[in-house]
């Protein structure tokens, strides 16, 4: 058994990684994909769980919004953009290339996944095959929803600045949407603002 566990709180990720590499700490709970190769080379016997055992939730869409303008109101109406299921399917299902996001944002150190509950969780249902990346199908659905070159779909992605990877994910999604003729604006805010907006029924699209 272990006599003692000493936990150090190091908020700065650079300082945290430096302490780990220097042997000052034995376990690190969070690191960027760029560090995976370095960590494995530094100690071939180390167990590096890089994220392939888990999966990131890439994005979520707001489906309804308060009909009376009051946050958290039970009086709801369809969201101006994603209240239309055709748009949700076009953007969130067929329009997002999760393989590309994993490759660019996570350097391959993650598992592409469609849905909020990660692979490996009890009773998780794999729905990846129901949402394959399909530009043609995404464009067709957007056209059915009334969006064309003359009337392009526009929406905003709000993400926080806590981790650089969040902005990278948003940028990849923006590029993917551009291939569909969709205009996306990225709004970067601090974590507190993001939580007060996204988790408290504020104005946001994705």
134-149 pLDDT per residue, tens: 999 999 999 999 999 9
Dist. CA 159–CA 189, nearest whole Å? 6
pLDDT band at 46 (very low <50, low <70, confident <90, very high): low
Dist. CA 71–CA 51, nearest whole Å? 35
Q: Hey, where are the domains in the chain? A: 64-198
Whether 105 contacts 169, CB under 8 Å: yes
- Mean pLDDT, the chain, as a whole number? 87
The predicted structure's pLDDT at residue 98:
92
Phi, psi of 23 (to 5 degrees): 80, 15
The predicted structure's pLDDT at residue 43:
67
Residue of 178 and 111 predicted with greater confidence: 178
Of the candidates 51, 35, 176, 39, the one whose C-alpha atom is nearest the C-alpha of residue 108 is 51
pLDDT, one tens digit per residue, over 153-168 is 999 999 999 888 889 9
The predicted structure's pLDDT at residue 133:
96
Domain 64-198 carries which CATH code? Answer: 3.10.105.10
The predicted structure's pLDDT at residue 45:
66
CA 40 centroid distance within chain: 26
Residue 57: CB atoms within 10 Å: 11
Cross-strand bridge partners of residue 187: 158
Dist. CA 60–CA 154, nearest whole Å? 16
pLDDT, one tens digit per residue, over 78-126 is 999 999 999 999 999 999 999 999 899 888 888 888 877 776 777 878 8
The SS3 of residue 26 is: coil
């Amino acid at each position: 058994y272990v006599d003692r566990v000493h936990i150090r709180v190091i908020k700065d990720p650079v300082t945290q990684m430096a302490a780990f590499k220097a042997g000052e700490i034995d376990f690190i709970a969070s690191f960027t994909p760029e560090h995976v190769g370095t960590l494995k080379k530094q100690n071939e016997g180390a167990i590096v769980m890089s994220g392939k055992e888990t999966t990131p939730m890439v994005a979520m869409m707001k489906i309804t919004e308060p009909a009376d303008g009051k946050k958290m109101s039970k009086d709801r109406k369809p969201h101006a953009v994603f209240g239309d299921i055709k748009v949700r399917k076009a953007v969130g299902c067929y329009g997002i290339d999760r393989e590309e996001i994993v490759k660019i944002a996570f350097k391959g150190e993650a598992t592409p996944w469609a849905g909020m509950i990660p692979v490996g969780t009890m009773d998780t249902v794999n729905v990846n095959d129901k949402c394959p990346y399909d530009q043609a199908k995404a464009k067709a659905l957007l056209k059915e929803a009334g969006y064309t070159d003359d009337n392009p779909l526009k929406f905003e992605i709000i993400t926080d600045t806590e981790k650089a990877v969040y902005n990278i994910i948003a940028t990849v999604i923006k590029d993917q949407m551009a291939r569909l003729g969709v205009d996306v604006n990225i709004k970067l805010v601090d974590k507190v603002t993001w939580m007060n907006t996204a988790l408290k029924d504020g104005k946001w699209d994705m």
